Structure 1
Amino acid sequence: MAQRTVRPTTQSPTVVGLDPEVAAALRARLAEVADSAVLHIVEEVPSYAGAWSGRMGEVIRNAVQLALGGFLTLATRQDADAPRAPAIEGAYQLGRGEARSGRTVEALLSAYRIGARASWREMAETAVAAGVDSGQLARFAELVFAYIDELSAASVAGHTDELESSGRVRQRNLERLARALLTGAPADAVNAAAERADWEPPGALTAVVLPESQVSHALTALDAQTLQPTDDVPGLPEGHTSLLVPSAASTTARRTLLRALRGTDAVVGPSTPWLEVGGSHRRALRCSALEIEGLVDTDDHLAALVLAADAESRADLRARVLAPLADLRPSTAEKLTDTLRSWLLHHGRRDAVAEELFVHAQTVRYRVGQLREVYGDRLDDPAFVLDATLALA
């Protein structure tokens, strides 16, 4: 990422022009003042607790020393245009480092306030002891706080840039991980993608296909680790997107997921081991093609999915099953087809067939007689019964 040019938010025209003797006294205490500032920060800002003893303590101490050194250079100049670049750049890099360490911008600004207060107290005492007059001390104070404003603004910019940069990188890695899962990449490649994305694999994932307009609503109710591929996903209906939701293979978890998606037109695939979520996604896509309205649980439509899996083969099977009716009048063939379907699904229960077809039971008896004349013993053949049930279901 191209580094942002940091421009101080405050450009103070204050000129202090400290006497060389005063500046020398302050420089002699520079390391001591820096240590004191860091100790106050560590003691008073909870997120910095324990930082002083580690590498971060040294980084903060060096940044404080650099800032104080830059300030003294500024305070001893006789013009208002003294260069600030090294200290501003150091503050910017400090902000980026703090973002990488996971500290918030609020904690960073608190550290600046506390560090400035501690540094000012000790520098003011030293300056007064070295003979600074009241007017010069007032300008000294004004310059301190204007300078801190500039440094804190630079650090906030660095913190923001780091979060944006790392956030974009992680988001790209998450998107690549989602695509790897959906395209059936080798397990070692998928595991490597998960590691790059800093994504902890769950036990299982569930694929969800839903309209793009409903994604934001759904994500507010789903696990924060949910993945969303942004590249074109083969087979995805136009205007729809996919989500890969961490889940568990239990009835309770399934109900929880469906409840979270209530009010959407999502199609929810089965829960599968996370590396096998491509299968869940393919089932959700097939079920979305059935054009069922509202929230759809694919587990409730398994038979329809099986029957729709190979439409051409099913059409051929239907034509073969109904071939004996081809020579009858179309109206008769249609009635007998309906009767055959109902008779098969109701296992020959005449009253149930009559109720479904809104005809008299004697009419059912007559039509079944016609079917037996056409099909003969095949109506009692388990193989034919299976073919006919699948063809007419």
Structure 2
Amino acid sequence: MARPSGRRTTDHGLRLPAAAVAEMRDHLPEVAEHAVTEIIEQVPSYTDAFSGPMGARIRTAVQLALAGFLSLASGRRGADLRTPGAPAVEGAYQLGRGEARSGRSTDAILAAYRIGARVCWREMSSTAVEAGMDGETLAGFAELVFAYIDELSAASVAGHDDESALTGRVRQEALERLAQRLLDGSSAESVLAACERAGWEPPTTLTAVLVPAAQVRPVLGALTPTTLRAIDVPGLEDDALLLVPDVHGRRRTALLRALRDRGAVAGPARPWEQVRTSYDRARRARLLGLGADTSDTEAHLPDLVLTADPDALADLRARALAPLADLRPAAAEKLTETLRAWLLHLGRREDVAEALFVHPQTVRYRMNQLRELFGDALDDPETVLALTLALGVPPQR
């Protein structure tokens, strides 16, 4: 088909009057100015961003993008008018990355593109009509203009997403390094510098929580986003270590609720720079097999205290229970259990019998045996203290 004189056509069948293209190109600076002005008026987050040098760069970018489109629309052979050229796409992509670094969301970017597209089309279509573009061509031109801008906005969103992901990874790595500093005994200056690099505001307290690897995601979902996760902590195999800010006092109840039935162990709340002590206690509780009934190490303080030095506890048991050493093992075990119950129940025979599932007379008989073996020592406060400590935690079988 012969092409009418003075018109350009593309593979999509769009035919643009050369005069209209030239006229629109002449008005691009004004179009860009009007678009940016309206974006500033309608998207508050851009009010300051588009002032000064940034505004000038945006106006130039709008002009270049539209000029690139007009170059395609005016007859570059084989061109797909819906697809911007590489420079325009790269510019839009970098714009999206810059927006992410500035802290603006993709909603703001897309709003700016919608407003800019509307303004650009209003101005360019008026120019095109004045230059003699017919209705059918104008409709096709509109479709391609908006498809082109859609492609640019998609490139900006991709840039925003990529920058956000990169920033997220960088910050996550900084947070992991901070957690490491908190645990490895680094100086206060080093820890504070790590806080600043990670953009992490120090809390009042931190609580160390050991969580099975399979439970980390649901637990993190129930905790504050400022929770730190320590990576590659020596001594941990199947657990992850979380450092949870400000769950001291009444807030601890909410923490324990989030950990319920997840096999986790929570250390005590400590001043944030001393969180290593919280981790040490949680790890000891885990090694001792505590936490089957509750994730709270505070519920196991006697066990933790009495097992702090296993060798000392073993020596104490041996010395305190020396009067039973010559008995047969079965007899020694029964008397040891009775003595322990007697100490814990403050000598109340009925309570001791109930705890041991025996008759009160059996308790009386066994206590007579114990008094024969220990003599007056069972009335000595120092001996009672030693026996209470020795028998406070049942021996590991």
Q: TM-score range by the shorter chain?
A: 0.7 to 0.9
Helix, strand or coil for the counterpart of 1:70?
helix
1:100 aligns with 2:133: no
Q: Distance in 2 between matches of 1:78 and 1:63?
A: 21
Q: Assess if the C-alpha contact under 8 Å between 2:260 and 2:295 holds in 1.
A: no
Match of 1:210 in 2: 211
Q: Percent identity?
A: 60
Match of 1:319 in 2: 318
Match of 2:327 in 1: 328
For residue 43 of structure 1, the aligned residue among 38, 41, 44 is: 41
Match of 1:53 in 2: 51
- Residue-by-residue CA offset, 1:49-104 (whole Å, 9 max, x unaligned): 44433554344323212212322333344424498222221111111111222222
- Summarize the Cα distance change of 1:58–1:204 in structure 2 as closer, same or farther, 3 Å threshold: farther
- Any unmatched runs of 5+ in structure 2? 1-9, 393-397
The AA in structure 2 aligned to 1:204 is: T
Displacement of 1:158: 1.0
Q: Distance in 2 between matches of 1:330 and 1:125?
A: 105
Q: Assess if the C-alpha contact under 8 Å between 1:15 and 1:79 holds in 2.
A: no
- Residue-by-residue CA offset, 1:279-325 (whole Å, 9 max, x unaligned): 11111111123333244211111001112222222122212222222
Displacement of 1:153: 2.3
Greater RCO between the two (CA within 8 Å, min separation 6)? 1
Q: Assess if the C-alpha contact under 8 Å between 1:94 and 1:155 holds in 2.
A: yes
Displacement of 1:379: 2.6
1:75 aligns with 2:76: no
Q: Distance in 1 between matches of 2:126 and 2:21?
A: 13
Match of 1:175 in 2: 176
What are the residue-to-residue correspondences of 1:1-393 with 2, within 5 Å?
19=18, 22-53=20-51, 56-81=54-79, 84-132=85-133, 137-229=138-230, 231-236=231-236, 238-250=237-249, 252-291=250-289, 292-393=291-392
Displacement of 1:245: 1.4
Q: Assess if the C-alpha contact under 8 Å between 1:208 and 1:243 holds in 2.
A: yes
- Residue-by-residue CA offset, 1:156-209 (whole Å, 9 max, x unaligned): 221121111111111222222222223332222222222222222221111111
Q: Distance in 1 between matches of 2:227 and 2:168?
A: 16
Q: Distance in 1 between matches of 2:137 and 2:29?
A: 23
- Cα RMSD, aligned residues only: 2.7
- Summarize the Cα distance change of 1:150–1:333 in structure 2 as closer, same or farther, 3 Å threshold: closer
The AA in structure 2 aligned to 1:233 is: V
Helix, strand or coil for the counterpart of 1:207?
strand
Match of 2:5 in 1: none
Size of the aligned set, in residue pairs, is 379
Larger deviation: 262-271 or 38-47? 38-47
Larger deviation: 64-73 or 357-366? 357-366
The AA in structure 2 aligned to 1:232 is: D
Give TM-score, length-normalised by structure 1: 0.86
Q: Distance in 2 between matches of 1:281 and 1:326?
A: 39
Q: Distance in 1 between matches of 2:156 and 2:332?
A: 82
Larger deviation: 27-36 or 296-305? 27-36
Q: Assess if the C-alpha contact under 8 Å between 1:227 and 1:245 holds in 2.
A: yes
